[in-house]
Amino acid sequence: MLQGRRVLLAVTGGVAAYKSAILARRLVEAGAEVKVILTDSAREFIGAQTFAAITGGQPFTTLFGETSVSPHTDLARWCEVAIVAPATASTIGRVANGISSDLVSATLLTTRSPVLIAPAMHTEMWEHPATQRNINTLERDGYLLIGPASGALAGGDVGIGRVVEPEEIVEAVEAMLSPDDSTLRVLVTAGGTREPLDPVRYLGNRSSGKMGHAIADEAARRGFTVTLVTAADLSALPTVKVVAVETADEMLDAVSGEDADVAIMAAAVADFRPSKSSEGKISRADGLDSIELSPTPDVLASVVARDERPFVVGFAAETEGVERAIEKAVVKKVDLLVYNDVTEPGSGFESNTNRVVLIDGEGQTEPWPMMSKQEVASLLLDRIVGDLAARA
User: Under a CB-based contact definition with an 8 Å cutoff, are residues 164 and 149 in contact?
Assistant: yes
**3-state percent helix, strand, coil for the chain, nearest multiple of 5:** 35, 25, 40
Neighbours of 348 (CB within 10 A): 17
Q: How far apart are CA 125 and CA 211, in angstroms?
A: 48
Neighbours of 100 (CB within 10 A): 16
Q: How far apart are CA 57 and CA 127, in angstroms?
A: 37
Active site residues: 205
**DSSP letter assigned to residue 198:** S
Distances (CA, A) of 370 to 173, 347, 375: 29, 8, 10
Query: Burial letters for 121-147: b for 16+ Cβ neighbours within 10 Å, e otherwise?
Result: bbbebbeeeebeebbebbeeeebbbbb
User: Under a CB-based contact definition with an 8 Å cutoff, are residues 219 and 359 in contact?
Assistant: no
CB-based contacts of 13: which residues, under 8 Å, 6+ apart?
39, 40, 41, 42, 44, 45, 88, 90
